[in-house]
Chain A
């Protein structure tokens, strides 16, 4: 996948409305998706347009103004790449993953549920992480085995998680303006797994309302609906891609053990939560 950054130019309206819009918590459009004749455009208002060629290999970034290159590259990495990979036919899910002795385990859920915090919690206490936000899965032939490919070797954290969990000597990338999160890079005190690992168990994160650590088995239908909510898909209006995706998620939900996981979001409990998850991950 190639990224080319063009000269800055003001964002002009397209002739047709976006086929999809991502809204920020404030209700303002964080990203708009346009389908043009020969390409897709993901527009981050007042920041940049990313034009994805029909081959899903070449991406042209058009900054809307004076925007730091680091901001553009991080937007590309965090938001554009997972969607483009999904358009190339890869199964990409909104989840983090860490390496356990038994294989990889993943934490899935909507933004704010604690995927990155859990990944960081493990990665700074001895277990290596495989992905922070975009879980890239590969099904091994027609088998029921799925492997997690290593993602980008960084974890994005909100300040409260970073200050509570991360050792002082861990390397932090400079702020880039694309997000209020800070980016923790692999290095001192943060372990990353560079090899693909078999996915053994998946945990769908609850909203933190549990009073104690709670892990319960998710049914096939619950897992399927969770995956449907947490899949990256560039073109949700393309029937063929939707159908293919539905089939793949149905297999994934059937083949990989899935659990509901919830716990009080209290950083003082981080060690206890890790121990409970690690113990559960080892159970047959």
Chain B
């Protein structure tokens, strides 16, 4: 997943609440909350950064080791994919 970028489907609605985010998936009517760090990752996802770019950006912003950060980012993105809140984009050139 490290080289993947992601897109947010059109059936996903997001609202900022303070430093957090609340996300609504309209097809299932399920809600999902993100804490400030999750919200920052979401912002980077929306900017179409790849997983490795997201990790690099966060490593510069937070006092955390690259290993832990990589695991946390991957886990969150997998959860978001499972819930239908983001989908991986095919690498450019892929068919």
Contacts and interface: CB of A to CB of B under 8 A. Distances in A.
Contacts of A228: 22, 31
Nearest to A245: B24
Contact of A221 (B20, B26, B27): B20
B9 to A, nearest CB: 12
B15 A246 contact: yes
Interface in B10-50: 11, 13, 15, 17-18, 20, 22, 24, 26-27, 29, 31, 33
Contact of B26 (A220, A225, A243, A254): A243
Nearest to B34: A221
Contacts of B15: 224, 246-247, 250
A242 interface: yes
A243 B33 CA distance: 16
B22 A221 contact: yes
A164 B26 CA distance: 44
Given A239-B11, A242-B24, A225 B18 contact: no
A243 B26 CA distance: 7
B22 A239 contact: no
Interface in A233-277: 236-237, 239, 242-243, 246-247, 250, 253-254
A242 B27 CA distance: 9
Contacts of B31: 225, 228
Interface residues of B, number: 13
B17 A253 contact: yes
B12 to A, nearest CB: 10
Nearest to A251: B15
Interface of B: prevailing SS: strand
A228 B15 CA distance: 13
A224 B16 CA distance: 11
Interface string A202-239: 00000000000000000111001100100000001101
B18 A239 contact: no
Contact of B18 (A220, A242, A243): A220
Residue of B13, B20, B24 with highest tally of chain A CB at under 10 A: B24
A236 B27 CA distance: 9
Contacts of A239: 11, 26-27
A250 B17 contact: yes
Contacts of A250: 15, 17, 22
B33 A236 contact: no
Contacts of A237: 29
Residue of A236, A246, A250 with highest tally of chain B CB at under 10 A: A246
B29 A224 contact: no
A224 B24 contact: no
Which 3 residue pairs are nearest across A and B when measured between Cβ atoms?
A221-B17, A239-B26, A220-B17
Given A242-B29, A254-B17, 8 more contacts: A219-B17, A221-B20, A224-B15, A224-B22, A225-B31, A246-B15, A247-B15, A250-B17
18 contacts: A219-B18, A219-B20, A221-B20, A221-B33, A224-B17, A224-B22, A225-B31, A228-B22, A236-B29, A237-B29, A239-B26, A242-B24, A242-B26, A242-B29, A246-B13, A250-B15, A253-B17, A254-B17
